[in-house]
């Protein structure tokens, strides 16, 4: 059993508050809650909310789930809250413009797959799954007005994304201010001890959630505010729109390869947020990385094994690693390549689009200019070069995509 100090260190790992005093306050309150719960012999009530705005999750979506699992493993009560009602409004927290409003049917379709994907991280038997439509749908207009009396318009307008939009003369819609009230009311309804979320949720958790709980006679929750996982480019937030994602509904081999493509500068962030490693293990790897005692590639391979092991089981990590070594370090070709029949001569640009290796001519040309396109191991440089397939040949795009081109 971990000591209270060890529990606090683990649960605060990967947190970012943008303010050292706030971080210390949350750490202190977390320690107090853990001691109190231990004395009373009860678990803490912990939750994170997830708006089902899409059906497929990537590694970035799972970071709060990893933290929920840590609380679970320490014996606390975890609720996986699906924002069936907040998703209808759309969270403005990480957006510089209003989100498109989803229909109830779209939200319901997305929500069906969310929990099942979450159980790849969470213990199914120990997880409560709830939908915030249970209580938000019952609020009256008068209820909403009374909730709103606890906040000022100025509090919302000082939020970074709202302030930036105001400065640019872009609209801020009234319904966007409702989101924080709705999320704060989630915490009240579930009498939450701890809420987990990313830095984009800082206002919703620390301001709205805590303030509403206090106003309605509850002890304000502890906010565990996690850093945002960068994508495979190592810089930008992981997002489907930028194409820098590590999907969780893929293969162990593909996930291993994508983690290996993450730049060294982002490795510590991945260790802190996306692994089962304790602060001591992370600190040890970080020390070796900084001192040069171990090659960064070897540490990254351990990181890729760990992340693959979480989603596919530790037994799947070894063959995924061997596959990576044989293809990318020993330059072997994968055995199960996709086969595409090409029935006419095409330029390299058109061939990349035809094989779904590029989404547009601009992307195809960029891949070629970067030296990322090969035929039978030969790098192609002329985007307009005409290719005629008379025998099976291998097209390689980037480090991980291989297609066997077949003649008709």
DSSP string for 216-227: TT-PPPEEEEEP
Q: How many domains does the chain have?
A: 3
Tens digits of residue pLDDT in 303-351: 999 999 999 999 999 999 998 888 776 667 777 788 889 888 889 999 9
Residues 399 and 353 in one domain: yes
Mean pLDDT over 245-264 rounds to 89
Predicted local confidence at residue 118, as pLDDT? 86
Which of residues 274, 303, 329 is at a domain's end? 329
Which of 20-24, 280-284, 321-325 is predicted least confidently? 321-325
Q: Does some domain include residue 246?
A: no
Which of 91-95, 172-176, 327-331, 395-399 is predicted least confidently? 91-95
Residue 190 pLDDT exceeds 90: yes
C-alpha to C-alpha distance for 182 and 86, rounded to whole angstroms: 7
Q: Which one has a higher pLDDT value, 298 or 52?
A: 298
Predicted local confidence at residue 228, as pLDDT? 93
Predicted local confidence at residue 196, as pLDDT? 97
CATH number of the domain within which 325 lies? 1.10.240.10
Nearest to 191 by CA among 70, 47, 49: 47
Q: Does some domain include residue 237?
A: no
Residue 387 pLDDT exceeds 90: no
- Cβ(246)–Cβ(56) below 8 Å: no
Residues 266 and 373 in one domain: no
Torsional sign, CA 78, 84, 86, 90: positive
- 127-131 and 77-82 as β-strands: parallel, antiparallel, unpaired? parallel
Residues 139 and 45 in one domain: yes
Task: Report residue 386's pLDDT band, with 50, 70 and 90 as the boundaries.
Answer: confident
Residues 134 and 157 in one domain: yes
Predicted local confidence at residue 98, as pLDDT? 47
Residues 85 and 201 in one domain: yes
Q: For the whole model, what pTM was predicted?
A: 0.79
DSSP string for 134-155: HHHTT--HHHHHHHHTT--HHH
Predicted local confidence at residue 174, as pLDDT? 83
Distances (CA, A) of 132 to 49, 84, 226, 300: 9, 6, 22, 39
C-alpha to C-alpha distance for 322 and 336, rounded to whole angstroms: 15
Which of 91-100, 124-133, 273-282, 288-297 is predicted least confidently? 91-100
Q: Does some domain include residue 240?
A: no
Average pLDDT over the chain reads 88
CATH number of the domain within which 374 lies? 3.10.290.10
Alpha-carbon Rg of the chain, whole angstroms?
Answer: 24
> Which tokens sit at 12?
């605060």
Q: Which domain holds residue 308?
A: 252-329
Tens digits of residue pLDDT in 82-138: 988 887 775 555 444 444 566 677 777 777 777 778 888 999 999 999 999 999 999
Residues 82 and 113 in one domain: yes
Mean pLDDT over 383-390 rounds to 84
Predicted local confidence at residue 157, as pLDDT? 81
328 DSSP β-pair partners:
none
């Amino acid at each position: 059993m971990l000591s209270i100090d060890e529990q606090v260190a683990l649960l605060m790992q990967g947190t970012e508050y943008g303010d050292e005093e706030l971080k210390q306050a949350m750490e202190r309150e977390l320690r107090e809650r853990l001691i109190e719960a231990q004395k009373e012999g009860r678990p803490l009530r912990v939750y994170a909310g997830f708006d089902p705005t899409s059906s497929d999750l990537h590694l970035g979506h799972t970071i709060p789930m990893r933290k929920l699992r840590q609380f679970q493993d320490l014996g606390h009560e975890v609720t996986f809250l699906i924002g069936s009602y907040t998703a209808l409004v759309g969270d403005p927290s990480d957006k510089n413009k209003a989100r498109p409003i989803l229909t109830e049917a779209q939200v319901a379709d997305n929500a069906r797959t969310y929990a099942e994907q979450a159980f790849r991280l969470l213990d199914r038997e120990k997880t409560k799954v709830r939908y915030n439509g249970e209580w938000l749908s019952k609020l009256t207009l008068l209820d909403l007005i009374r909730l709103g009396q606890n906040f000022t318009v100025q509090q919302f307008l000082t939020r970074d994304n709202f302030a930036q939009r105001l400065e640019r003369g872009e609209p801020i819609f009234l319904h966007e201010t409702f989101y924080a009230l709705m999320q704060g009311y989630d915490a009240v309804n579930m009498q939450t001890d701890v809420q987990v979320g990313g830095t984009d949720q800082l206002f919703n958790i620390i301001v709205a959630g805590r303030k509403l709980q206090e106003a309605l006679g509850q002890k304000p929750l502890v906010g565990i505010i996690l850093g945002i996982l960068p994508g495979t480019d190592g810089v930008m937030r992981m997002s489907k729109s930028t194409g820098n994602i590590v999907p969780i509904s893929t293969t162990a081999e593909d996930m291993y390869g994508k983690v290996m493509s993450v730049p060294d500068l982002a490795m510590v962030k991945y260790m802190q947020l996306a692994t089962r490693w304790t602060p001591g293990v992370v600190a040890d790897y970080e020390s070796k990385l900084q001192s040069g005692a171990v090659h960064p590639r070897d540490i990254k391979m351990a990181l890729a094994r760990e992340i693959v092991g979480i989603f596919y089981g530790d037994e799947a990590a070894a063959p995924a690693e061997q596959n990576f070594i044989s293809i990318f370090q020993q330059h072997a070709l994968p055995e199960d390549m996709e086969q595409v029949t090409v029935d006419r001569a095409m330029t390299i640009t058109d061939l990349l689009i035809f094989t779904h290796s590029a989404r547009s001519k601009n992307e195809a040309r960029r891949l070629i200019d970067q030296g990322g396109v090969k035929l039978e191991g030969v790098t192609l440089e002329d985007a307009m070069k005409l290719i005629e397939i008379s025998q099976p040949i291998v097209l390689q795009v980037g480090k991980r995509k291989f297609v066997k081109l077949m003649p008709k």
